[in-house]
Amino acid sequence: MVSGDGTWRKRGFSSLYGVQTLIGNKTKQVLDVNVKSSYCQECQVWESKLGTPEWVDWLDSHIGNCQANYEGSAGGMEPAGVLEMFCRSKEKYSVFYTGYIGDGDSKTHKHVCDGKPYVEDGIEVRKLECVGHVQKRVGGNLRKMKKEGIVCADRKKLGGQGRLTDAVINDLQMWYGNAIRAHTESVEDMENAIWTSFHHIFSSDDHPSHDRCPKWEESWCKYQKAKANGKH
The average confidence (pLDDT) of the chain is 86
In angstroms, the CA 76 to CA 212 distance is: 45
Band the pLDDT of 226: cuts 50, 70, 90: confident
Residue 39: pLDDT over 60: yes
Confidence class for position 2, pLDDT limits 50, 70, 90: very high
- The stretch 73-77 carries a mean pLDDT of 88
Residues 6+ apart with CB under 8 A from 64: none
Please check the confidence at residue 67 and state whether its pLDDT lies above 90. Answer: no
In the predicted structure, residue 105 carries a pLDDT above the cut 60: no
The domain segmentation of the chain, as residue ranges, is 2-129, 131-201
Residue 42 has pLDDT above 60, yes or no: yes
Window from 15-19, 91-95, 202-206 with minimum mean pLDDT = 202-206
pLDDT (0 to 100) of residue 115: 92
Which of these ranges, 39-43, 102-106, 194-198, has the smallest mean pLDDT?
A: 102-106
| DSSP letter, residue 10 | S
**Residues of the chain above pLDDT 90, percent:** 26
CB 81 within 8 A of CB 34: yes
**Single-letter residue type at 70:** Y
Q: How far apart are CA 178 and CA 222, in angstroms?
A: 18
